[in-house]
Amino acid sequence: MNLSMSWDKGTLLLTFIAGLSLNGSFFVLFSSLVTFSIFPLVTLCLAAWCLHQRYLNRAMPDGMPSLAAAFFLLGILLYSAMVRVEYPDIGSNFVPTLLMIVVVFWIAMKWRARKVS
């Protein structure tokens, strides 16, 4: 299999986790409604470290940076929607959910285009 055609699913999972933990860290540090926890901060540090190690040791295939950014954005939006469901005083989760659907369809379109070529 050609290296440029294989996509690293581990990197995509790490970017998704980094998006979740970044938004989780933001909420625990700056929102009075969400109780403080150290775990989003630890997860963010570990995900960023693992992504940095992958960046240093592996070449990124064509199209991977945009897909990784989409997974990162999906993680941010997913956490935002979940927190807004749990704490409705923050606001509606309509916009994050709508944006999540758009990002998921964009990811599916890119994934299908990868399978075809």
Domain boundaries, the chain: 9-116
Mean pLDDT score of the chain, rounded to an integer? Answer: 90
pLDDT tens, residue by residue, 84-115: 999 888 889 999 999 999 999 999 999 888 87
What are the DSSP calls for 12-78, one per residue?
Answer: HHHHHHHHHHHHHHHHHHH-SSSPP-SHHHHHHHHHHHHHHHHHHHSPPPTTHHHHHHHHHHHHHHH
What are the angstrom distances between the C-alpha of 108 and each of 8, 46, 80? 16, 27, 21
27's tokens: 């909420």
83 vs 117, more confident: 83
